[in-house]
Structure 1
Amino acid sequence: MTDDTHADFETPTREQLQSVFDATDYVAGDELTTTVLLALKLGRPLLVEGEPGAGKTELAKVLAEGFGTDLVRLQCYEGLAAESALYEWNYTKQLLAVQSGDGEDSVFTEEYLLERPLLRALRHEGDRPPVLLIDEVDRADEEFEALLLEVLSDFQVTIPELGTVSAERPPIVIITSNRTRSLSDALKRRCLYLHVEPPSVEKERSIVRRKVPELDAAVAAAVCNVTGRLREEPLLKPPGVAETLDWARALAVLDGPNGDGDDPLTESDIRTTVGCLLKEVEDVDRLDDETMSALLAAAEDAPS
């Protein structure tokens, strides 16, 4: 991206934002572009929900890369506590300082403070604010949501021993959820909302062509048709866009540097690389002869 685009990171035009998506090969429709633009201009966190592998996390990475700023990621999980999200003290270093006599004044200073993602984003130094990715917030407990609301309300946090830390330039906040549980109304009200729909076959084909240009166009179309047909099966974990891209890259690699790479997909191709698409043994076992025939028919129906 150009320096001019970087300078307008906090208030980009639609054209600048679209150029970010284009430069990073991120296929974005009008609704996604408009919602992201509003989140940036209004300074509001963006809550992005959708199926796993739909491109939610990738959106935050694209914004950080496209605007030339840092990505600070907080991966949520069950039992996530404040000290893992905000800060904690280096107790080992404090103990050693006390034992050696170096900590007679205080062991609660910057020297002993360990920044975690939320505090790191608030104290970020740079020409542009960072992108703070709070990933899979639905995996964390409701208590963590309360902490998150407190931090996002004023973009500040109080460290009793050091005082209040406020962000000079609030980070751009992207919060993702796989909808494994309902989020609180308070958190939803704080954010703008975007639901990432599973892509159409045409959109997914465009994504594959951008992300895996070395794969023959006809094979890429077949890949998307097969993945789309797989999603019609009652799978425990249907493949997302991320899995489609993994499979496309795997097929491109298996063709080798001297291969033509334009041979039609075969049953052997699918069965030997199915680990790129399906991650549950029960789903793999569903690939019986009837299902395989349907997948091969979908591959043959793909536009050349």
Structure 2
Amino acid sequence: MSGADLSRLSLNTATVKHADLRTAVDAAASAGYGAVGLWRDRVQEVGAERAARIVAEAGLRVSSLCRGGFLTAADDAGVEAALDDNRRAIDEAATVGTRELVFVVGGLSGSSPGGPPGAATDRDLVATRSRVADRLAELAPFAEARGVRIALEPLHPVFAADRAVISTLAQALDLAAPFAPGAVGVVVDTYHVWWDPELRAGVARAGREGRLACYQVCDWILPLASDALLSRGHVGDGYVDFAAVTTWVADAGYRGDVEVEIFNETVWDAPVAATVATVAERWERHVAPHLAPSPGAGMRLLDAPGERP
């Protein structure tokens, strides 16, 4: 390693999908990372309390827990199942010691992730988004009481049918607006939002409202995999302007950890140590230089296109 400051770099366990929790944590700690982002599958394999100990003993922070959400069920049984699972996720987040629980809100009711619509698929996007708002109203007080913030993650529109009926940062912020910033925030994930012409304004708004909960980075690579979910690449391998987006996030006041979250079969098949080293090198080259707020950032926040002071 080059000796660069990696204290704000977080390894999301999805990036080393085939590694167990201890292997992922030890690799991040040995490389000098400051944090890990945990997926619930790895937490549940060992239990939340033991997961917390593994991270703490390695001297790392938990930047976030992934994921809660999938709130779009239209039937009573589906609604109750979603609420129960999300309450468990909130308790897991509190136990592992993170404030931020990433929420992917879910696709159309009756959809199947990555597959064709079911016979009972509800294609009413307006009603579906309304159900998400209703479920948030039920879960936000529960999360806030446990010191956990629901962090809404907009997903690229290609996933609107089956994974997330919110696609832009503005939509996520509008959903969050009825709740205190400490209860519901938003995630900026470069893979999902890099394309949005209103992204700069949305990031500035999120900063002013105190809702920037998590910054996740990876690249948009082409050609897309047969499953677009697996088309994330290492930072610098694709089309995302990390200098611009990172500068906007820094100027908006974000001072938290930056997670690298990559879904890619080739990355998953690589040795963990090699992946951790590549992530750190790309962080140093493409992200870290832009994490300090720019001179006059506060003034530019007020002048961001489409936003009011």
Which has the higher Rg, Structure 1 or Structure 2? Answer: 1
Is the TM value for this pair above 0.5?
A: no
Q: Which has the higher contact order (CA 8 A, sep 6+)?
A: 1
TM-score, scaled relative to structure 1: 0.31
**TM-score, normalised via structure 2 length:** 0.31
